[in-house]
Chains A and B, each alone.
Chain A
Amino acid sequence: MKKYFAGIDSGSTMCKSVLFDGETILDINTVKTGWNPKLSSAESLGVLLERNNISKNDVYVSTTGYGREAVDFADYSFTEITCHAYGGIYLIPNIQGIIDIGGQDSKVIEIKNGKVVNFFMNDKCAAGTGRFLSMASETLDIDLKDIDAFSDLSDPVSINSMCTVFAESEIIGLLAMQSDRSKIMAGVLYSIAKKIQQQSSKLDFSEDMPLLMTGGLTISKALIDTIATTIGHEVITHKYALHAGAIGACICANKQLRK
């Protein structure tokens, strides 16, 4: 038996990794995925091992995320749905559902009795994902980290196009008509929230319990609040929310190992 687990969530934009001893998170790391998911995963793992002075031989490597199949040095591999669910349960026991918005997909997961019972994930279109938000912020010339301060949520402009490409044209059109940028930005956040609502409304959540949001877009409190208002549920996040998938990968590997 090895002593540690390394979970690597090789996402479309960021590669998140955690070091786990079966009970506690020892360390976390984040690097850009870049063009080579295998390379960035290896790099991220290397940093964790070196920083904690641990040999690779003492670690079970478990991967998830888009790049997981490229990581040929892993012992285990699970889908990001399962990993975000188990990572979420680890962070907030008894959580009934997860909203994960990543670089190129969004998903809502329903959990009952500690297991995934249903989930929705966007089809191949990128509407309502991180890509959509970064396209919009680029078009509006607003830095992603400034979205919260910038958005005027009191009076959002409605963005009708669910398609990322069409939405870009729509935003350019709105700018041409001299619409307020802060109101357009708020409209973009509402548009993402509506996409999440389409998925969450088909799932069976009890209204008096929160959902946990994970993934890269948890950086925006304004987005979390907008989603909460739109779907009618309290939405919480966690300091390890970005690493929920990588944590879940460790937990799934641990479960598999004990089978």
Chain B
Amino acid sequence: MNKNEVPSIFETFGDARKQGFIAVKNLKDQGKKVVGVFCTYSPVEIILAAGAVSVGICAFSDETIAEAEKVLPKNLCPLIKSSYGFAVTEKCPYMYFADLVVGETTCDGKKKMYELLSEIKNVHVMQLPQTQEDEVSKDLWYKEVLLLKDRIEKDFGITITDEDIKKAIRLKNEERKLLKEFYELSKSCPPPITGAEQLKVLYGSQFKFDIEQKNKELRDTIDKVKTDYANGIENVSNDAKRILITGCPLAGVTEKIVTAIEASGGVVVAYENCIGVKPADRLVDEEGDPYKALAERYLNIGCSVMTPNNKRMELITSLVKEFNVDGVVEMTLQACHTYNIETNTVRELLQKQDIPFITVETDYSTSDVAQLKTRMAAFIEMIS
């Protein structure tokens, strides 16, 4: 597993992908360990504290789905198929160079996929409780957090001191505060940046590996946006309808939703998604037992794998008010049962608040782009 060579098909890659591979190879050559994480529930502070690099390896393209479907069923969420496909085809630099892959028992599709993935990668699966309130679940997750620490220490032959973990928590909190300050800029009316621009920064921040450097860059980005706005540079029309996006992880090909909204007189002001508000809106308590604090913070993320999932409803409700939202668009991926079922709860929640709501189910193809455009445009016409 501990390979520092590029894959044999390297020469067939395009330039951007080659650069990705070279960047990660450089990190490995410096002796850095790389840990791939799938989910917002992964307590990445432990990875940082171990001196390793954590990187998101959820995939957002249909490029490897056909390959994945040789093993996985067709009727499965495209994110799972794509991620597995990138692992088997060795086309993702982060997956390829990962010394360890951390997954959680989130949805059925992912947890069963991890079994197959563990045949080709070094995988550690954390047992994520399915509910957040009871003591048994809290205790289980705390123990799972400790088990991850043990696994990383053992695999990488290191010891994580209290000082290491506390420093990682401080740095990561700093990043969260900056990300939050950044996306909250879009509370202004009109927002200083488009939703596509916001997403680019939020998604891109996952692939910057020196966290102190990343925090500096985020600071600079925030200051620049603020200065431009103060100087009267307007990127978004004052009439643009303010949209909150919610639902499954959105990036890569599913940005087609954002494009459709923003080409039709809307602007995405916030993302209640895994790339967006969810990973940044709550901090880890810096006092007391750091592992207890991590467990507490991470377990409280409002994903549809939780039952009940009140945290998501609370977050949507507060974002609608804080960002002065005109309408909510939910994106679900085909065969994502938990989000697809939860759609009804979200619809009822927003109906009670008189907030227009539309849900679209899509996949990683582009064959529905015209249809999505019509639906998003009709939604914006409806709320105009």
Contacts and interface: CB of A to CB of B under 8 A. Distances in A.
A53 B76 CA distance: 58
B371 A81 contact: no
A17 B381 CA distance: 22
A124 B371 contact: yes
Interface in B359-384: 360-362, 367-368, 370-371, 374-375, 377-378, 381-382
Interface stretch (A26-34, A114-122, A179-187, A230-238): A114-122
Contact of A81 (B360, B361, B370, B382): B382
Interface residues of B, number: 15
Contact of A79 (B347, B362, B367, B377): B377
A167 to B, nearest CB: 17
Contacts of B347: 202
Given A79-B374, A81-B374, A117 B361 contact: no
A81 B368 contact: no
Given A123-B362, A123-B368, A82 B381 contact: yes
Interface of A: 66, 78-82, 105, 115-119, 121, 123-124, 202
* Main SS class of interface, A: mixed
Contacts of A118: 356, 382
* Main SS class of interface, B: helix
Given A116-B378, A124-B367, 7 more contacts: A79-B381, A80-B374, A81-B374, A115-B382, A118-B382, A119-B378, A121-B378
A80 B367 CA distance: 19
A121 B374 CA distance: 10
Nearest to A252: B381
Contacts of B371: 105, 121, 123-124
Contacts of B361: 123
Interface in B174-193: none
A78 B370 CA distance: 14
A123 B360 contact: yes
A82 B360 contact: no
B200 to A, nearest CB: 26
Q: Which 9 A-B pairs have the closest CB atoms?
A: A81-B378, A79-B378, A124-B368, A82-B381, A116-B382, A79-B377, A123-B361, A79-B374, A121-B375
